[in-house]
Amino acid sequence: MNRTQIAEVVFDLPVAHPFSYSVPPHLTVVPGQRVQAPLGGAVRPGVVVGLRALDTAGVKPLAAALEPGPIMSRSQLDFARWISAESCSSLGSTSAALLPPVLPGEPMPSACEWSGNRAETPELFVGADRLARVRREIEAHAGGVLLLTADIATAADWAASLSALGPVARLDSGIADRDRRRAWNALAAGAARLAVGTRSALLAPIPPPAMLVLIDEHEAAHKPPGAPRIHSRDVVLRRAALEGARLLLPSATPSVEIWWLADGGRARLHPVDPGSWPAVSVADTRGMLRADPLTPALGRAAYDALARGRRVCLLVSRLSSALACDDCGSVPRCPECGIALAFSRVEKTLACRFCARRDAAPDTCGACGGRRLSAFGWGAERVEHALRRRFPRARIARYDPDAMRGARLAKQRQEATGADIVIGTRGALRLFEPASLGLAGFVTPDQFLRVADFRASERAFALMWAAAERVRPDGQVVIQSQHHDHYILRAVIDQDRAEFYKHELRFRAESGYPPFRRLCRVTARGRSASAARALADTCVGRLRDARLTVYPAIAERRGLAWRILVKGRADLPAHVSRALEDGGPADRRGRGMIEIEMDPVD
């Protein structure tokens, strides 16, 4: 029997284990190198993750090396392993998502190892001058810089702006494969010092001493669909520690997780330049908003702004799914979980998304006995109609960049750019520079406060803060709300972030939400309702056996899918993977499929 070298190879598949191949005598491969290997009748690209000596029984040979050397150093491969474990994604899918395209004929610069002997404290920049300060830090930094954004458009802006400081390697998918790959090589070879990208750049080789920058750390877009299911914030925190890199986090409204780190001295909050702040007021809507989306206060503010030739942005939300009392403003909440109960108009029920609680919707308000309970909806269309009647001579446009793409979006954008009044969702704020608007108005923000999601308050706070930053110092922000004393509103009125985080952290601690506990969502799908149910029951049983906090499964898609929420500590991914075995993002066991989503953001 021949003793040869065996290469362990992972592929872009939802399969947890590597596949073994013999290394033909004419080939030399090392861990971290990309290869071609036969699998399931076809030759597919994969990554060598290990080598060992063994007999060759029943093993096929590698077909070819895709590149002359490893694309990942030992440090990068270990780090990819960590990301894979932490996100319950396969190592193959993780590597495929975080490595540049293969280009035959390109040279392979050697990828360097990370030293990480002195861990730096992550740094928060939250003030009005945060981007200018981060830019100065980048300018002053001697080594390489990796700057990550949540979307391609922002990456393009940064690449353009940083090019004044030297060659910029763009690593996001907004540029051609060839250029992206060359940018990666330029970095590894030390020919470029500045790198800009989105999450696909998380593994990029940066010349030491490295500096990492994550723009708008709080953005949910830092955890886009697709493997690996992990927020870029968690990745850069780890990478900075391993690599001994400085990590800069500019964000007007950091995530509660990051603020908590700063509270505990594990992140450093740089001195804050508060910047200018408009007058923020709450317009009481109790008993209003039946026939008109504008309270007298907001209507007057819009009139004044238009009369002074200033622009107006009205923020609306997508449809509400919670119930509220029109008389006292109270919202039915889950007694167990503390979150607003989701209202289903069709089924006439109130349901909690976290525990499986589901009750018939009441006829009267539990707090004041009022009989007017409604899930109200002032969507963009209805608001626009009402405003056209009220301001017949104003140029009014709707803008909802998250709901459309392509030519329709471009057209809408153009109309919105020239409009006096823009009605839009959160993406509409991107149209406006800081301190440029005459008025920002929130039509029915109570819907944000009521969304059946514990992160809703964080998002509402971020949105209101972002709106206020875009209003001129002599302009106004008007928030129409029944909750005039809500801590989010107080924090925005007083321009006091700490006020928000103090309350939010107390709520999270009391209810056992992140950052104090970790969450995982397991989805069990089946062909039939009974198969799905059985699979879900199996999962719940195994997770309970692992002594994790497991909430009862909630049916979706008429019983074809079941959502299971699991709570645990920092080591939750390992426990969930072990409990469900081979748990990939879409592990098929028998007749069904399991999906594991660590730290869900929605």
* Residue with smaller CB distance to DNA, 20 or 549: 20
Q: Is 96 in the site for DNA (CB under 7 A)?
A: no
DSSP class of residue 271 equals P
What stretch of H or E contains 345? none
Q: Is 299 in the site for DNA (CB under 7 A)?
A: no
CB of 282 to DNA, least distance (A): 48
CB of 229 to DNA, least distance (A): 13
Contacts within 8 Å (CB) and 24+ apart, 40-47 = 44/11, 44/12, 45/11, 45/12, 45/102, 46/9, 46/10, 46/11, 46/12, 46/19, 46/92, 47/9, 47/10, 47/71, 47/72, 47/91, 47/92, 47/95, 47/99
CB of 227 to DNA, least distance (A): 10
* Residue with smaller CB distance to DNA, 179 or 582: 582
Asked if residue 248 lies in contact with residue 123, where contact means CB atoms within 8 angstroms, the answer is: yes
Tokens encoding 544: 């309970």
Q: Rounded to whole angstroms, how far apart are CA atoms 562 and 554?
A: 5
Among 24, 38, 167, 244, binds DNA (CB under 7 A): 38
* Residue with smaller CB distance to DNA, 50 or 427: 50
Segment interacting with DNA, rule: CB under 7 A, options 17-25, 77-85, 315-323, 489-497 = 17-25
Alpha helices in 145-208 (DSSP H): 152-162, 177-188
Q: Rounded to whole angstroms, how far apart are CA atoms 215 and 152?
A: 12
Q: Is 557 in the site for DNA (CB under 7 A)?
A: no
Closest CA to 130 of 33, 210, 24, 213: 213
Q: Is 226 in the site for DNA (CB under 7 A)?
A: no
Q: Is 225 in the site for DNA (CB under 7 A)?
A: no
Print the binding letters for residues 558-587 with DNA: x by CB under 7 A, - otherwise: ----------------------------x-
Please report, as residue ranges, which positions from 98 to 137 form the binding site for DNA (by CB under 7 A): none
Q: Is 21 in the site for DNA (CB under 7 A)?
A: yes
CB of 96 to DNA, least distance (A): 11
Segment interacting with DNA, rule: CB under 7 A, options 16-24, 191-199, 294-302, 339-347 = 16-24
Sign of CA dihedral 315, 321, 324, 330: negative
CB of 14 to DNA, least distance (A): 4
Asked if residue 47 lies in contact with residue 9, where contact means CB atoms within 8 angstroms, the answer is: yes
Q: Rounded to whole angstroms, how far apart are CA atoms 224 and 215?
A: 15
Tell me the HSE value of 25 on the side-chain side, using a 13 A CA sphere.
Answer: 2
Among 110, 319, 588, 602, binds DNA (CB under 7 A): 588
Q: Is 465 in the site for DNA (CB under 7 A)?
A: no
Q: Is 178 in the site for DNA (CB under 7 A)?
A: no
Site residues, DNA (CB under 7 A):
13-15, 17-21, 37-42, 58-60, 527, 586, 588, 590-591
